[in-house]
Chain A
């Protein structure tokens, strides 16, 4: 029996591409505004986005959100959640994630599709916003290193929340980057234990969700 050409089949299989192809997408002859910049490489296209999600405060809602990220292979850099309205019926989930613009768009659409999700806001896209994180950092060390730790804490305006002869616990609030650099400096001065809250974020200006 004549078989379909092996060459065609081989080509078909070897040219299998992952779902996202950063190559120039094919566009039609109709001008519908600027095409997204697709000429970049995949890693150049990865963007970090901070997304605020307002959800009904009901059991399982966090599992839904997290399951969505793990099930669809999205990335979670940070996730925080707490009730935010007076009667505690609505919670706000702050998510820091990363992906190509197409993936970020998918993440938001997928979140919005969950039944208990009331609102999804991409703070990164919507403009200027504030991001804060709190960390408790325990530094165990002695002698000169202790003094140096205190000096650096002062520069960073970290508060000393607990002291023993051989250790400090510093409390520090700030941007995630600020926390990163503080922790990095502390690591040079002793053994360090870190507890971080994850990022909370809010848009600047007078508009409230």
Chain B
């Protein structure tokens, strides 16, 4: 069969169509004009015009993480490519599959400091899973197909394909996807049988077990999440999730201890600290989770299921690494569990749950909202949860205290509904990511829980929202501070609030109106429900300015470098905390 001849730009479009792409997020410029021209002439792919290339990548991330598909970005050379760098780094840190097509100056000008030239492959090499510069049109289709394969397989990540303008014009052969894999890149998805056997034995014997569930389960897909849920239920073990793993196992289930780590729950962190068998499924022992390494879960045997061998023994030396895809590994563990008819040590488990229940009784997320005082941020998010939990609600966040309160107070019972920037912690992630989610799920409720500082980092996306009439809701927890920064300054820098006050804020209600959106504001606790109801009743986009108490801190908190059992409970719990600390070390 002879391949079809067409222009490079047409090859780009045809490759995307053959990869099943229906929407791309982009911003035009000189070096991608041929591709924009080809886009103009077709109807299969929808282009969403963002207002900043960083936002294009975050939108693609939101699209990808809420659908399980690859998110696609198209930007021009030079500033288009450099603007995309933060988004690419974000996608790399959080393992989000993204393909980013960048325009480049014509091949013969590369290296000449041509207009809007930058060394895109050089700049993005450390912030992508892989990147390509395509100098030969005959390799264009093959490279784009390979880019999708690399982005989506193994541990997912962002891939850049840099396409010089002459390659976009030149006629070349189109090659359809071949599905033959790759010569040198072959991620291990199936685990060693022996490792599975030993994992099953360890799980069966455990007396104080805990499942430590991470974003790898989300990456592995819906079936993986269902299998992990089944494993947790069949064992009857407690489970805790990382920020990236939230939603894998239902938060409202009794076996869920909530999130662990720096701002995780008391029960999750103490159960991690005192466990005898830790079963890490798709988590990477991030330092926000482990705290002080030499005091991390002492006396525990650690099983680590991960598709990326470089995640293993990186921060924490584990006893039993199982390299493979979560779905395949857990499927096998469950199969062996059934075949061997395993019954866990119930009396030991009962004792363990009894201890966990005592930790739970501390009620570490307790807060008091009095009617007269200012709105507590926790209260606002709790009410938002109560009033939206029965809908198909997607929550994205910016970065800061509001993000942590969202993780603590918005309970996710389903995977793929929680979008947040964990690894890079990118302020400005939430709004564009909500755009991507809303594009993918036009009829769902999409809410960006934002901070007043973060929202200004990509506020220009209100214009994208207006253009496409996306009914995104922006729920600003407005404490007039870069709250997370202020909290650290209060606790660790003698309350010297250096440059962390949000001065010069816009009137968010008027700002909303200027973009044709609805603006709402609540300043008193008794207005919260009403404002949320109005937000939900509005058909179009809404900005809610939730004016909350300014100096609330986010607890529990394990200060950087502390151990899990040195968790701080905050003003309400601290007295008990001091008294029981000795005891906790002893038990």
- Given known contacts A12-B292, A26-B299, A28-B301, what 7 new A-B pairs fall within 8 Å (CB)? A3-B571, A8-B568, A11-B566, A12-B558, A17-B293, A27-B301, A32-B301
Chain A residues with CB under 8 A of B299: 26-29
Q: Are A113 and B309 in contact (CB under 8 A)?
A: yes
B362 within 8 A of A: no
> Is A197 an interface residue when CB atoms closer than 8 A count as contact?
no
State how many angstroms separate the Cβ of A39 from the closest Cβ of chain B: 14
Q: Which residue of A lies closest to B207 (CB)?
A: A29
Chain A proximity mask over B112-131: 1 for CB below 8 Å, otherwise 0:
00000000011001100111
CB within 8 Å for A102 and B183 given contacts A1-B571, A115-B130: no
B492: Cβ under 8 A from any A Cβ? yes
Known contacts A2-B574, A28-B301, A12 near B561 by CB under 8 Å: yes
Q: Which residues of A contact B309 (CB under 8 A)?
A: 109, 112-113
Q: CB of B319 within 8 A of chain A? A: yes
How distant is the Cα of A17 from the Cα of B291 in the complex, in angstroms?
10
B559 touches A9 (CB 8 A): yes
Indicate which residue in B122, B308, B492 contacts A63 across the interface (CB closer than 8 Å). Answer: B122
A16 to B183, CA, bound (A): 43
Check: B314 CB closer than 8 A to any chain A CB. Answer: yes
- A residues in contact with B561, CB < 8 Å: 12-13, 15-17
Taken together as a complex, chains A and B put the C-alpha atoms of A116 and B571 apart, in Å, by 53
* B560 within 8 Å of A (CB atoms): yes
Q: List the 9 shortest-distance A-B pairs measured between CB atoms, nearest first.
A: A28-B301, A16-B561, A12-B562, A109-B310, A26-B298, A12-B559, A118-B184, A4-B568, A115-B130
The answer to whether A5 has its CB under 8 Å from any CB of chain B is yes
Total cross-chain contacts (CB, 8 A):
130
Q: Can you spell out 11 A-B residue pairs with CB atoms less than 8 angstroms apart? A: A2-B571, A4-B568, A8-B559, A12-B292, A13-B560, A15-B292, A28-B301, A32-B319, A105-B313, A110-B310, A114-B130
Q: How far is the CB of A10 from chain B (nearest CB, A)?
A: 9
Tell me which residues across on chain A come within 8 A of B312, comparing CB atoms: 109
Q: Tell whether B277 is near chain A: CB-to-CB under 8 Å.
A: yes
Q: B182 in the interface, Cβ–Cβ < 8 Å? A: yes
CB-CB < 8 A to B319: which residues of A? Answer: 27-28, 30, 32
> Is B17 at the interface (CB under 8 A from chain A)?
no
Interface residues in B541-579 (C-beta closer than 8 Å to A): 551, 557-562, 566, 568-571, 574-575, 577-578
Query: Is B584 close to A, CB under 8 A?
Result: no
Q: Enumerate chain A residues within 8 angstroms of B277, measured Cβ to Cβ.
A: 28, 30
Say yes or no: B183 contacts A56, CB within 8 Å.
yes
Nearest neighbor of B135 in chain A, beta-carbon distance:
A59
Cβ-closest chain A residue relative to B316:
A25
Residues of A within 8 A of B331 (CB): none
**Counting CB contacts under 8 A, is A117 at the interface?**
yes
Q: List residues of chain A with CB within 8 A of the CB of B173.
A: none
Is the CB of B170 closer than 8 A to any CB of chain A?
no
- Does A23 make an interface contact (CB < 8 A)? yes
A64 is an interface residue with CB less than 8 A from chain B: yes
CB-defined contacts of A59 to chain B, threshold 8 Å = 133
Task: Give every chain A residue within 8 A of B276 (Cβ-Cβ).
Answer: 28-29
The answer for the CA separation of A26 and B300 in the assembled complex, in Å, is 7
A3–B297 Cα distance when bound, in Å, is 27
A140 to B314, CA, bound (A): 49
Q: Does B343 make an interface contact (CB < 8 A)?
A: no
In angstroms, Cα B351 to Cα A184, docked, is 69
B161-197 CB contacts (< 8 Å) to partner A: 182-185
Q: Are the C-beta atoms of A23 and B578 separated by less than 8 Å?
A: no
**Complex CA–CA separation, A66 to B300 (angstroms):** 37
| A residues less than 8 Å from B350 (CB atoms) | none
- Give the docked Cα–Cα distance between A26 and B302 (Å): 10
Check: A73 CB closer than 8 A to any chain B CB. no
- State in angstroms the CA–CA spacing of A26 and B274 once bound together: 12
Which residue of A59, A109, A115 has the most chain B CB atoms within 10 A of its CB atom?
A115
Does A21 touch B at the CB level, under 8 Å?
Answer: yes
Smallest CB gap from A36: residue in B: B317
B92 CB → nearest A CB, Å: 12
Query: Which of the listed residues A15, A63, A64, A113 has the most CB atoms from chain B within 10 Å of its own CB?
Result: A113
Whether the Cβ atoms of A30 and B205 lie closer than 8 Å is yes
Q: Is A37 positioned at the interface, with any CB of B under 8 Å from its CB?
A: no
A205 within 8 A of B: no
User: How close is A143's CB to chain B, nearest CB, in angstroms?
Assistant: 51
Residue among A32, A56, A67, A71 with max Cβ neighbours from chain B (10 Å): A32
B502 interfacial contact with A, CB 8 Å: no
B75 interfacial by beta-carbon distance below 8 Å:
no
A19 interfacial by beta-carbon distance below 8 Å: yes
For B150, what are the chain A residues with a Cβ–Cβ distance below 8 Å?
115
> In the bound complex, how far is the Cα of B490 from the Cα of A132, in angstroms?
59
Q: Which residue of B lies closest to A117 (CB)?
A: B184
| CB contact between B125 and one of A12, A13, A67, A109 (< 8 Å): that residue | A67
- Asked if A60 is an interface residue, CB under 8 A from chain B, the answer is yes
Whether A102 lies near B317 (C-beta < 8 A) is yes
In the complex, chain A residues 83-130 whose Cβ is within 8 Å of any chain B Cβ: 102, 105-106, 109-110, 112-118
CB neighbors of A among B249-307 (8 A): 276-277, 292-294, 296-302
Looking at the complex, which one of A26, A102, A112 makes contact with B313 (CB distance below 8 Å)?
Answer: A102
B81 contacts partner chain A, Cβ-Cβ < 8 Å: no
Which residue on A lies nearest to B311, using beta carbons? Answer: A109
> In the complex, A11→B558 CA distance in Å?
12
- B315: Cβ under 8 A from any A Cβ: yes
CA distance A54 to B537 in the complex (A): 60
CB distance from B355 to the nearest CB of A (A): 17
A12, A71, A102, A109: most-surrounded residue (chain B CB, <10 A):
A12
Complex-state Cα separation, A13 to B184, whole angstroms: 44
Contact between chains at A4 and B570 (CB < 8 Å) = yes
B301/A63 in contact, CB under 8 A: no
